Every structure is written in structure tokens, then in C-alpha cells.
Amino acid sequence: MPQYEYICEDDGEVITLLRSMRDADAPVEDPSGKGRRFVRKLSCFGVAGSEAGTGSSHVHLGSCCPCGKPSSACGRN
């Protein structure tokens, strides 16, 4: 089941819930019982690495490169 993040419009508190995709945008009850309103937040993740071409952190794992292309099509070894 996917995880979704919800942010409180009043104070910015962020909570994470496991919900089905069908219920992703359904209303969320305030876990503190204060009646605050939570809305789904766009979740992002980051990947740390070096500049392209330096080769210090670009590693192929299996048949897929971390850049999202197949290892054979990546062009960076």
C-alpha cells in the first residue's frame, strides 16, 4: 500500500499515512483531535551525487542505472 504525506494548512505539521490510491485524496482526520484540516502534499525525494562526468558516484547496479536508463543506454560507466 502506498504512503502519502499530508500537511496541516494551519500549522504546517506533516503526517504520513498508508492508504490505498483510491483513498489518497479522501479527507484526513486530525490525529490530535483538534479539527485541523490536512491536505495531500506532493512528496519528493532526492538523490545525492556528483556532477555529471566526474564519475565519483555514478554506479550501475544490475541492469538499471540510477539515472533511470538501462545500463547499456546510459553512456556513463
pLDDT digits (tens, 9 = 90+) for 3-61: 999 999 999 999 999 999 999 999 999 999 999 999 999 877 666 655 555 555 555 45
Rounded to 5°, angle at Cα 16 from 33 and 34: 10
What integer pLDDT is reported at residue 43 of this predicted model? 72
pTM: 0.56
Domain count, the chain: 1
37 in a structural domain: yes
29 in a structural domain: yes
What integer pLDDT is reported at residue 42 of this predicted model? 84
57 in a structural domain: no
What integer pLDDT is reported at residue 46 of this predicted model? 62
Q: Give residue 36's domain range.
A: 3-41
13 in a structural domain: yes
Q: From CA 54, how far away is CA 36, in angstroms rounded?
A: 48
33 in a structural domain: yes
18 in a structural domain: yes
Q: From CA 19, how far away is CA 17, in angstroms rounded?
A: 6
48 in a structural domain: no
